[in-house]
């Protein structure tokens, strides 16, 4: 399905203590938007929407000044809620005004020219377009290494992620309405968005270094996000307890046989056979019981999320 109507774009940019980079990236973003409007890629009423994620520096003052120009809008969150929630706020605010949204970091590490490809994919019918990094050469070794391990771990845990996709993505209003059906408080967008469904596509771009300022992701924030990703989407850690319980149980049988043979051959010290056997057997039973409790907790956990069971794409009645 090709779309013919020119879409209204809201560019969603989360900012946390970004007074250093805002004035630098502003001109680049503004130029880009103006070119897109001039080329009739996007409609005239498109906007750049900054979300101030509870900054403690002059970020909001800068944003407020910018909104004198009709091309800009701003939303200020009451306190720092993290990039994920800042983006969500931007998406939900845009829902009433835009046809499409694209989220991008204010430091412009993600090449802003990816917008053209994203809109093209949208015009070709996609509701979600994932921005994917061509390479991570400009990221630090530590970041590349940990990211690689993280993707592998997530795959092992059965969480569906798009490789090398971060928070740069196009969402149509329809996709945002789908996202709005998810009631999660612990937000990990990269995990939820693939669950929305619809026609999706990918746009590739180069990843650069920060234009100015320092990263706003402390190691603590990064670890929290990584952990959120696993625990919000997978009950596999709980299932692993059951698995180990069963494994220990069978191992205990082996150990008991081994201990009995030792006793019969006269190698064992008095009492050793009983001790060995009971340690393994009891450990196995305990682990298995924990696993069974875990299975129930897993079910409760999934129920409490109240995630939508389906989102209807088309209805012919």
Pick between residue 50 and residue 280 the one whose CB is nearest to Mg ion. Answer: 50
3-class SS at 145? helix
Q: How far apart are CA 251 and CA 110, in angstroms?
A: 51
**Are the C-beta atoms of residues 53 and 83 closer than 8 Å to each other?**
yes
Extract the tokens encoding 19. 């007074």
Q: Nearer to Mg ion by C-beta: 113 or 289?
A: 113
The helix or strand, by DSSP H or E, that contains position 170, with its residue range, turns out to be: strand 165-172
14 binds, among ligand UDP, Mg ion, none (CB under 5 to 8 A by kind): ligand UDP
Q: Going residue by residue from 187 to 226, which x/- string records binding to ligand UDP, judged by CB under 6 A?
A: ----------------------------xxx---------
Find, among 253, 241, 252, 235, the residue nearest to 287 by Cα: 241
Nearest distance in Å: CB 203, ligand UDP: 18
Q: In the set 80, 123, 231, 232, which binds ligand UDP (CB under 6 A)?
A: 80
One character per residue 16-35, x = contact with ligand UDP (rule: CB under 6 A):
x-x-----------------
Among 10, 11, 14, 287, binds ligand UDP (CB under 6 A): 14
As to burial, measured by CB atoms within 10 angstroms (0-12 exposed, 13-18 middle, 19+ buried), residue 156 is exposed
**β 100-103/9-15 pair status:** parallel
Single out the residue of 33, 106, 115, 196 in contact with ligand UDP (rule: CB under 6 A). Answer: 106
Q: Is the CB of 13 or the CB of 175 nearer to Mg ion?
A: 13
Pick between residue 65 and residue 214 the one whose CB is nearest to Mg ion. 214
Q: How far is the CB of 217 from ligand UDP (least distance, A)?
A: 4
- Among the listed ranges 79-87, 103-111, 228-236, 297-305, the one in contact with Mg ion (CB under 5 A) is 103-111
Helix (H) or strand (E) holding 73: strand 72-76
Sequence-distant (6+) residues with CB within 8 A of 137 are 207
Cα torsion 219, 131, 188, 32: sign: positive
Kindly identify the residues of this chain, within the stretch 47-76, that bind ligand UDP according to CB under 6 A: 53
Tokens of 122: 């949208």
SS3 content of the chain, % helix, strand, coil (to 5): 50, 15, 35
Question: Which residue lies nearer to ligand UDP by CB, 113 or 215?
Answer: 215
Where does this chain touch ligand UDP (CB under 6 A) — which range of 11-19, 38-46, 65-73, 150-158? 11-19
Binding site for ligand UDP (CB under 6 A): 14-16, 18, 53, 80, 82-83, 86, 105-107, 109, 215-217
């Amino acid at each position: 399905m090709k779309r013919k109507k020119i879409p209204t774009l809201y560019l969603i940019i989360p900012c946390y203590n970004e007074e250093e980079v805002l004035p630098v990236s502003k001109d680049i973003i503004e130029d880009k938007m103006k070119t897109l409007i001039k080329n009739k890629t996007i409609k005239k009423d498109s906007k750049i929407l900054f979300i101030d994620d509870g900054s403690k520096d002059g970020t909001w003052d800068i944003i407020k000044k910018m909104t004198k120009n009709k091309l800009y809008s701003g939303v200020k969150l009451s306190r720092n809620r993290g990039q994920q929630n800042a983006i969500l706020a931007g998406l939900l605010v845009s829902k009433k005004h835009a046809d499409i949204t694209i989220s991008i970091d204010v430091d412009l590490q993600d090449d802003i020219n990816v917008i053209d490809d994203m809109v093209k994919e949208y015009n070709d019918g996609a509701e979600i377009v994932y921005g994917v990094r061509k390479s991570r050469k400009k990221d630090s070794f530590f970041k590349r290494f940990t990211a690689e391990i993280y993707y592998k771990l997530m795959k092992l845990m059965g969480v569906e992620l798009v490789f090398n996709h971060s928070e740069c993505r196009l969402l149509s209003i329809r996709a945002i309405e789908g996202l709005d059906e998810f009631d999660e408080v612990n937000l990990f967008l990269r995990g939820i968005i693939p669950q929305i469904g619809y026609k999706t596509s990918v746009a590739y771009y180069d990843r650069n270094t920060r234009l100015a300022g320092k990263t706003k992701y402390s190691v603590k924030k990064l670890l929290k996000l990584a952990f959120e990703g696993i625990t919000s989407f997978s009950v596999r850690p709980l299932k692993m307890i059951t698995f180990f319980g069963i494994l220990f149980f069978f191992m205990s049988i082996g150990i008991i046989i081994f201990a009995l043979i030792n006793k019969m051959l006269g190698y064992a010290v008095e009492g050793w056979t009983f001790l060995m056997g009971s340690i393994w057997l009891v450990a196995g039973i305990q682990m298995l019981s924990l696993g069974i409790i875990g299975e129930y907790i897993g079910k409760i956990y999934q129920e409490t999320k109240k995630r939508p069971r389906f989102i209807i794409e088309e209805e012919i009645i």
